[in-house]
Amino acid sequence: MSARVHVLNLHADAALELEPATSKPAEIRAAKRCLPKLMADLAHPDVFEFAWKGAGIEMDGNARTYYPNISAEEIAEASLCPLPHERMWVEIEVPTPFRTAVRYVWPIQRHKEDLTKFTAHPLVVRDNSLVYFGATLVVPVGGGPGCDRETGGVVHSKFASYARTKDMTEFHAQIRLLQRFFRILTLPGVEVDEVAPTSMGSATRFPQDSMSAPSRRIVTIDERAIRPEKRDPADGHLCEPRREHHRRAHLRRLPSGRTVPIRNCIVNRGVGTAQPQSFLVKR
């Protein structure tokens, strides 16, 4: 079960324990006021789920988190990549020396006022608890203004006490990690294996009166992989079945060698039904 489904189920059963990363009463009340909006965003039917395996995050016995080093050159290249989908959920299960499983998660969506940016909210899911940091990561995409090779983006905090007493550089490390993820996701080397949803999982996540459950797909991505595409020998176009499907935003290399960004959209609208998918991404 994905962390998103787990959190939504706990919230529906009134069993979700919100843990604001602050001890200030006013900030705790502010966190509780944000919970309904957060849950509504998580339950949005257009959210694409991604579980990233092998992301490189580790935690030591003092609960200190270590992030992989990402070069300025990679950030510069990643800053040119588009946001793959309008709404996303990215989760990473972090190896720890403790018995309790810890998953770092980020609900992500395109910025409502500036379409050249996306916003992400760092959260931690641990058993029945949801750790809320009150932070918002604002990151430019597709070469938008404000791209920074060092910080990657801007961090806003609802908790003034947390911003004063904690090291905010961890959130900038998370920004760089997400940028690496989007860069990987827009590369052409992708292998997809489809897994049919189980009846029990479908009933839990998608009641019969709401919508049908989408298939779950396991996506294995190799940064260096270049998979030859099957093309029609007559005109050179891709041979794809004509059906409605989501097209992920990506970078397309033209025969001339020039690279152009492709926005996400629905292709062949009206031919069948396109449902958001959940993905397991491995490196």
Per-position pLDDT tens, the chain of length 283: 789 999 999 999 999 999 998 889 999 999 999 999 999 999 998 888 888 888 889 888 888 899 998 888 888 888 777 777 888 999 999 988 887 789 999 999 988 777 778 899 999 999 899 999 999 998 877 655 555 555 567 888 888 887 777 778 889 899 989 988 888 877 665 554 555 545 444 444 444 444 344 445 555 555 443 233 444 444 444 445 566 777 777 777 777 777 777 777 777 776 666 555 566 666 5
What is the DSSP code string of 175-217? Answer: HHHHHHHHHHHTSS-EEEEEEPPPHHHHHHHS-TTT-PPPPEE
pLDDT at 116: 76
Q: Map tokens 């827009």 to a residue.
A: 186
- Could you list the residue range(s) of the whole structural domain that residue 25 is in? 3-185
- Asked if residue 18 is part of any domain, the answer here is yes
Cβ–Cβ < 8 Å for 220, 191: yes
Residue 209 forms part of a structural domain: no
Residues sharing a CB contact under 8 Å with residue 197, sequence separation 6 or more, in sequence order: 213, 214, 215, 216
Instruction: Judge whether 152 lies within some domain.
Output: yes
Q: Note the pTM of the prediction, 2 decimals.
A: 0.71
Per-residue pLDDT at 212: 41
- Cβ contacts of 30 within 8 Å, gap of 6 or more: 134, 158
In a domain, 281, yes or no: no
Domain annotation covers residue 11: yes
Q: What is the reported pLDDT for 214?
A: 47
Both tokens of residue 267? Answer: 């292709």
> Which pLDDT value is given to residue 43?
92
The total number of structural domains that make up the chain: 1
The token pair that represents 192 in the structure block:
């997809």
Residue 97 lies inside a defined structural domain of this protein: yes
Q: H or E segment at 41?
A: helix 25-42
Give the pLDDT of residue 211.
39
Per-residue CA distances from 188 to 148, 210, 217 (Å): 25, 34, 17
pLDDT tens figures, 7-66: 999 999 999 999 998 889 999 999 999 999 999 999 998 888 888 888 889 888 888 899
* Tens digits of residue pLDDT in 55-90: 889 888 888 899 998 888 888 888 777 777 888 999
**What pLDDT is attached to residue 14?**
93
Q: How far apart are CA 182 and CA 8, in angstroms?
A: 25
Q: Is residue 175 part of a domain?
A: yes
Burial class (CB in 10 A: 0-12, 13-18, 19+), 166: middle
In a domain, 248, yes or no: no
